[in-house]
A = this chain, B = another copy of it.
Amino acid sequence: MKKITITDVAKHAGVSKSTVSQYLNERYDYMGGETKARIEAAIKELNYSPNFLARSLKQKKTNTIGVIVANILHVFSTQIIRAIQDYCSERNFHVIACNADDDPRKEKQFIEMLQAKQVDGIIVFPTGANKSLYQTLIMTNYPTVFIDRMVSGVGIDTVLLDNEKASKLAIQTFLMQGYQRIAMISPPLLPNITPRMERTTGYKQTITENGLSLRPEYIANVETTNVRDHLRKMLALREPPDAMLALNDLVLVEILHYMKENQLQIPKDLAIIGIDDVTFASVYNPALTTIAQPAFAMGKKAAELLLEKISNITKRREGIVYRFEPKIMRRDSV
C-alpha cells in the first residue's frame, strides 16, 4: 500500500497542490465552497493524512520537545515527565523522554541527538558537567529549561525545589516532637548535584539555628548500596540518633529495608522523614511522614516556560530561577 501524498489528493480533487495545502492550513479565505467540498471528499476517500516530517522540514518546527532526566529511577523524575507530557499533550506537542543515567556523556549525546531531530526545545535535569554545551545552548538561543538542579554561571531558566526549606521542615518536625539526635543520610555529595548540597546545608543550618551541635557522625554520604551498612554503624554509636532524614526516595527505601530486617520499630527506635513523597507513604505501616515536592506543578511550570520560549521568538531575559515550596506530609513515622 503506497503512501498517499498531497499530490494524490490534489489530482483526485482536480485542483492544485497549493490549493489543498491552503485547505489543510485552514486558510479558506477565498476558496470556493465547492472546491472546499471536493477537497474534503478527496481526503476522506483517500484516507489521506499529511506527512508531518515534510511539513516540519519546511516550517522548521516539529511540535516535539525533548526531556532528559538525570536518573529515571527517582519517583520525582517520573512524576515530572508525566506532568510535562500531560501539559504538552493538550497543546499538541509530543515529548521524547531520555534517561541520561547521571552520565554527562550520555547527556551530551542526547542533547545533540534531539537537536539533530530538530525538536523545538528541551527540558533537562542537568548533570552539570557539560558547561560548554550549556553555553552553546544559550548562545544559539535554543529553547531550554533546566529543572531540579542548578547550574551556576549559565543563564538558563531553572525550576527548582526550595531544598533548604525541605530539610528545614523535616528537622523542625523532628524537634517539635522532641527528637534531638537527628541524623541524615544522603547519596554521595557531588558539587553539580545541587539538591543534595542544598538539602545538606538546610539540615546543618537548621540544626545549629536550634542550638544543637552538628555531629559529623550523624551525617552520611553514601551510595545507595551502602546505606544499610552505614545505618548500622550509626545505630551502633554510643549515642545513636533517634531521628533520621532520608535525603531522597532511594535512600528512604534502603532505610526501611534495614529497619525491617532488624525488626526495628518506626518511630520508636528511629523516627524517619523522607524527602520525596513516595507512592506508598500513606499505606505504609506506619504511614510515612514525607516532604513532598510539588512535582506536578514543577513539571507544568517547566513545560509552560519552554513552550512560551518556543512560541515567543523574542528572547526574554533568561536565567530566572523558580523555586517551589516543599510541603510536609505529616503522617506517623515521627
| A interface with B by C-beta (< 8 Å) | 1, 49-54, 56-57, 62, 64, 72, 78, 82, 85, 89, 94-99, 112-113, 115-118, 139-141, 253, 256-257, 260, 278-280, 282-285, 287
**7 pairs of residues in contact across A and B, judged by CB atoms under 8 Å:** A1-B141, A49-B115, A72-B82, A78-B78, A94-B96, A283-B284, A284-B284
Distance of A50 Cα from B117 Cα, bound (Å): 9
| Copies of this chain | 2
Tell me whether A118 and B260 are in contact (CB under 8 A). Answer: no
Distance of A53 Cα from B119 Cα, bound (Å): 10
- Select one of B94, B116, B139 contacting A52, CB under 8 A: B116
- Select one of B97, B116, B140, B257 contacting A1, CB under 8 A: B140
Tell me whether A253 and B53 are in contact (CB under 8 A). Answer: no
**Whole-angstrom distance from the CB of A45 to the nearest CB of chain B?**
15
Distance of A253 Cα from B49 Cα, bound (Å): 43
With contact pairs A95-B96, A113-B94, A141-B1 given, residues A54 and B52 touching in the complex (Cβ less than 8 Å): no
CB closest residue in chain B, given A97: B97
**Whole-angstrom distance from the CB of A228 to the nearest CB of chain B?**
12
Distance of A51 Cα from B284 Cα, bound (Å): 50
